[in-house]
Amino acid sequence: MAKKDIRALSQTQLNEVFKEIGEPAFRAKQVYEWLWSKSETDFSQMSNLSKKLREFLVENYVINAVQISELQVSSDKTIKCAMRLHDNYVVESVLIPHQERMTACISSQVGCSLTCKFCGTGKLKRMRNLNADEIYDQVVLVKKTAAEKYNAPLTNIVYMGMGEPLLNYKEVLDSVEKITSPDGLNMSPKRITVSTAGVAKMIVKLADDKVKFNLALSLHAANDEKRNYIMPINETNTLDNLAEALNYFIEKTGTRPTFEYIVFKDFNDSLEDARELVEFCRKVKGKVNIIEYNPIDDGEFRQTTPERLRAFTNYLEENGVICNVRRSRGKDIDAACGQLANKNKLAAQQLK
CATH number at residue 51: 1.10.150.530
- Four-residue CA torsion sign, 81, 85, 88, 89: negative
Residues 6+ apart with CB under 8 A from 224: 234, 238, 239
Q: What is the pLDDT of residue 335?
A: 53
Decide if pLDDT at 193 tops 60. Answer: yes
Q: How far apart are CA 327 and CA 167, in angstroms?
A: 28
Query: Does residue 12 sit in the same domain as residue 83?
Result: no
Structurally, how many domains does the chain consist of?
2
Gap between the Cα atoms of 300 and 101, Å rounded: 34
**208 pLDDT above the threshold of 80:** yes
Among 20, 40, 62, which residue terminates a domain? 62
Q: Is the pLDDT of residue 157 over 80?
A: yes
Q: Which of 36, 62, 88 is the last residue of a domain?
A: 62
Mean pLDDT of 198-224: 98
Q: Is residue 144 located within the same domain as residue 272?
A: yes
Task: Let me know whether 107 and 25 are in one domain.
Answer: no
Domain closes at, from 62, 85, 108:
62
Q: What is the CA radius of gyration of the chain?
A: 21
How much is the pLDDT for 298? 67
Residues 162 and 289 in one domain: yes
**Catalytic residue (choose from 23, 81, 92, 134):** 92
Catalytic residue from among 116, 281, 323, 337: 337
pLDDT greater than 90 at residue 123:
no
Residues 100, 17, single domain; the answer is: no
According to the model, what pLDDT value does residue 2 have?
86
Give mean pLDDT, residues 323-330.
80
Residues 255 and 320 in one domain: yes
At 124 the pLDDT is 87
Provide the CA 172 distance to its chain's centre, in angstroms.
Answer: 9
pLDDT band at 331 (very low <50, low <70, confident <90, very high): low
User: Quick one: pLDDT band at residue 342, thresholds 50, 70, 90?
Assistant: low
- 89 and 174 together in one domain: yes
Same domain for 217 and 259, yes or no, is: yes
Q: What is the pLDDT of residue 295?
A: 77
Predicted pLDDT of residue 182:
96
* CATH number of the domain to which 138 belongs: 3.20.20.70
- The answer to whether residues 230 and 326 belong to one domain is yes
Give the pLDDT band of residue 155 (cuts 50, 70, 90): very high
Do 51 and 138 lie in one domain? The reply is no
Predicted confidence (pLDDT) per residue in 33-68, tens digit: 999 999 999 999 999 999 999 999 999 999 999 999
116 is catalytic: no
Average pLDDT over residues 84-102: 94
pLDDT of residue 9 exceeding 50:
yes
| Same domain, yes or no: 42 and 100 | no
Please choose, from the candidates 41, 155, 148, 58, the residue with its C-alpha nearest in 3D space to the C-alpha of residue 98. 155
In sequence order, the 6+-apart residues with CB closer than 8 A to the CB of 192 are 156, 157, 158, 159, 176, 179, 180, 213, 214
pTM of the model: 0.92
Are residues 53 and 71 both part of a single domain? no
**DSSP letter, residue 326:** E
If phi > 0 it is left, if psi is from -120 to 50 it is alpha, else beta; for residue 80 that is: beta
Q: Which domain does 317 fall in, by range?
A: 67-350
Cβ pair 226, 277 in contact under 8 A = no
Told to judge if 92 belongs to the known catalytic residues of this protein, a careful annotator would answer yes
| pLDDT number for residue 352 | 44
Whether residue 337 has pLDDT greater than 70: no
Residue 278: exposure state from Cβ atoms within 10 A (0-12, 13-18, ≥19): middle
